[in-house]
């Protein structure tokens, strides 16, 4: 009861209410603030768009350069192959090992390179037997490779077996790649991955 008189008096009193700033209301604050320039944001937007274009081009270029390694991981590991596939690839390796002419040191080097890819002694013995006998012709290799859908594998194993950069071996590999119908991108990818 004693406080009612205070509320009656304070309610009628003139002056600013809570949260009211009479001095600020009289000022024109909108005239004092300079307008925000639209140009910097437009410039920043263009710079961001240019940076995104450059980054997008780089990412796309890297993907296109490595798409065969990413989408078609060609791995040569004789330990994980089926017997039929392993025998076919050893026949292709035997033909490639003879591409530079019959040479015992070239055959030993081819066996060493193939053993690094998982070829065991039985596989290497088959390779030596095929080289000593009559290795299959390029026509037979191409027919079997396309029938088994292993054209790139046949080229990779031939590259591993040929190994040297001798002109005859290079001509054989170029001819084999053309007969297998491999694109330049696939040949380049295999060469980067398996050339010694």
One domain, residues 152 and 59: no
Backbone angles phi, psi at 175, to 5 degrees: -65, -40
- 135: domain range? 78-194
Q: Give the tokens for residue 29.
A: 């604050």
Q: What is the predicted pLDDT for the residue at 89?
A: 92
**Same domain for 86 and 66?**
no
Domain-located, residue 2: no
Are residues 141 and 93 part of one domain?
yes
- 59: which 2 tokens? 């990412």
Distances (CA, A) of 53 to 25, 71, 172, 189: 49, 24, 43, 27
Residue linked to tokens 């060609």: 74
Q: Which residues contact 186 (CB under 8 A, 6 or more apart)?
A: 68, 72, 152, 155
In a domain, 22, yes or no: no
Total domains, the chain: 2
Separation of alpha carbons 91 and 97, rounded Å = 10
Q: What distance separates the 2 farthest-apart alpha carbons in the chain?
A: 124
Name every residue whose Cβ is closer than 8 Å to that of residue 115 and which is 6 or more positions away in sequence.
124
Based on the fold, state whether residues 108 and 51 are members of the same structural domain: no
- Tell me the C-alpha distance between 162 and 97, whole Å: 5
* Residue 39 belongs to a domain: no
**Residue after which a domain boundary falls, among 53, 73, 93:** 73
Going residue by residue through the chain (196 aa), what tens digit of pLDDT does each one get?
566 666 666 656 566 566 666 666 666 666 655 655 555 688 888 999 999 999 999 988 887 777 655 555 678 888 888 899 999 999 999 888 888 666 788 888 888 888 888 888 998 998 888 888 888 889 999 999 999 989 999 999 999 988 767 888 889 999 999 999 998 888 888 888 887 6
The C-alpha atoms of residue 100 and residue 168 are separated, in whole angstroms, by 5
pLDDT for 117 equals 85
Domain end, chosen from 55, 73, 91, is at 73
Spatial separation of the C-alpha atoms in residues 183 and 165, rounded to whole Å: 21
Global confidence as pTM: 0.63
Burial track 97-126 (b if 16+ CB lie within 10 A, e otherwise): bbbbeeeeebbebbbebbeebebeeebbeb
């Amino acid at each position: 009861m004693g406080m009612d008189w205070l509320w009656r008096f304070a309610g009628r009193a003139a002056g600013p209410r809570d949260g009211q700033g009479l001095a600020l209301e009289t000022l024109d604050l909108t005239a004092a603030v300079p307008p925000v320039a639209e140009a910097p944001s437009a410039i920043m937007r263009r710079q961001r768009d240019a940076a995104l274009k450059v980054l997008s081009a780089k990412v796309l270029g890297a993907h296109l350069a490595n798409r065969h390694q990413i989408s078609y991981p060609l791995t040569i590991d004789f330990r994980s192959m089926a017997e039929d596939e392993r025998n076919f690839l050893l026949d292709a390796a035997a033909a490639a090992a003879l591409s530079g002419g019959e040479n015992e040191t070239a055959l030993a080097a081819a066996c060493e390179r193939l053993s690094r890819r998982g070829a065991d002694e039985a596989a290497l013995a088959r390779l030596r037997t095929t080289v000593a006998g009559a290795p299959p012709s390029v026509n037979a290799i191409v027919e079997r490779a396309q029938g088994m859908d292993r054209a790139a594998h046949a080229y990779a194993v031939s590259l591993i077996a040929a190994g040297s950069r001798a002109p005859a071996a290079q001509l054989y590999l170029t001819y084999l790649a053309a007969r297998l119908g491999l694109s330049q991108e696939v040949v380049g990818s295999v060469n980067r991955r398996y050339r010694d």
